[in-house]
């Protein structure tokens, strides 16, 4: 019997669901998956049956319900310290939490202009100055992490952490919209895209029905 139940939305479009799902899958933690398509007449009703917020993702652990991607990742890291989902070093851990929260709360221009769509690819896409500013800030975040922690591996803090789960949908967006990146950011995106949980998610997303209202 799986330890947790994770309620998610459509894999091709739900960036918040991707974060929690990849974090759990990377950690090798068993969970039952409930996928709720985002375009059904009863979508809202079905979501409210799992969370008072009516949003995905939702993690259920017996009588405990956790909603919001970052809250879920924190909960799992707290319950499974042996999985090292945050850096062990206190300063690095604070850094990882800071950039994860920045990702959680910011980059509205990028989210609005470039919604997640794992299976689509644009050869060219016009980006506003506001989106370009978001992309520049993300690349600066990644560059600083790679400069500080590259000795430990190819992820932001060497080994995979919750910070990588938080930025996984950004890597997907950059692939979808053909965003030009510096060499460090391109290498990091390639690392995330090749990571088995990310690959598994995108393969499943490609098999889902198209939801026209979420197509760009």
Report the distance separating Cα 47 and Cα 65, nearest Å: 13
Return the CATH architecture of domain 90-200: Up-down Bundle (1.20)
Output the pLDDT for position 71. Answer: 98
Output the pLDDT for position 57. Answer: 97
Report the distance separating Cα 183 and Cα 207, nearest Å: 31
Average pLDDT for residues 95-99, to the nearest whole number?
98
End-to-end CA distance of the chain: 40
Number of H helices, E strands in the chain: 9, 4
Output the pLDDT for position 3. Answer: 87
Average pLDDT for residues 62-84, to the nearest whole number?
97
Output the pLDDT for position 213. Answer: 81
Which residue bears the tokens 């690095």?
92
Which residues have a Cβ under 8 Å from the Cβ of 141 and sit 6 or more positions away? 99, 102
Which residue bears the tokens 């091709």?
12
Per the omega criterion (within 30 degrees of 0), is the bond before 57 cis? yes
Output the pLDDT for position 81. Answer: 98
**Domain ranges within the chain, ordered by starting residue:** 4-83, 90-200
Q: Is CATH 3.40.190.80 the classification given to domain 4-83?
A: no
Q: pLDDT band at residue 37, thresholds of 50, 70 and 90?
A: confident
What are the pLDDT digits (tens) for 46-56?
Answer: 989 998 899 99
Question: What is the share, in percent, of the chain residues with pLDDT greater than 70?
Answer: 100
What are the pLDDT digits (tens) for 147-201?
Answer: 999 999 999 999 999 999 999 999 999 999 999 999 999 999 999 999 999 999 9
Which residues have a Cβ under 8 Å from the Cβ of 107 and sit 6 or more positions away? 134, 137, 138, 170
At 182, list the tokens: 């510096």
What are the pLDDT digits (tens) for 115-142?
Answer: 999 999 998 899 999 999 999 999 999 9
The answer to whether the CB of 58 falls within 8 A of the CB of 66 is yes
Average pLDDT for residues 86-106, to the nearest whole number?
98
């Amino acid at each position: 019997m799986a330890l947790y139940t994770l309620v998610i939305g459509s894999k091709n479009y739900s960036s918040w669901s991707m974060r929690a799902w990849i974090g759990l899958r990377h950690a090798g933690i068993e969970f039952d998956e409930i996928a709720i398509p985002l375009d059904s007449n009863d979508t809202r009703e079905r979501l409210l049956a799992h969370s008072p917020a009516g949003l995905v993702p939702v993690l259920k652990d017996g009588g405990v319900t956790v909603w919001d991607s970052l809250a879920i990742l924190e909960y799992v890291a707290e319950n499974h310290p042996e999985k090292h989902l945050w850096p062990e070093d206190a300063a690095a851990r604070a850094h990882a939490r800071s950039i994860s929260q920045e990702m959680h709360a910011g980059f509205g221009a990028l989210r609005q202009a470039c919604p997640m769509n794992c299976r689509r690819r644009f050869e060219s896409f016009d980006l506003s100055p506001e989106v370009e500013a978001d992309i520049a800030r993300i690349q600066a975040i990644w560059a600083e992490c790679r400069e500080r922690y590259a000795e430990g591996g190819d992820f932001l803090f060497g080994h995979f952490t919750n910070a990588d789960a938080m930025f996984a949908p950004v890597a997907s967006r950059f692939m979808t919209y053909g965003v030009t990146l510096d060499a460090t950011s391109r290498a990091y995106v390639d690392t995330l895209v090749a990571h088995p949980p990310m690959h598994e998610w995108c393969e499943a997303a490609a098999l889902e029905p198209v939801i026209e209202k979420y197509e760009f």
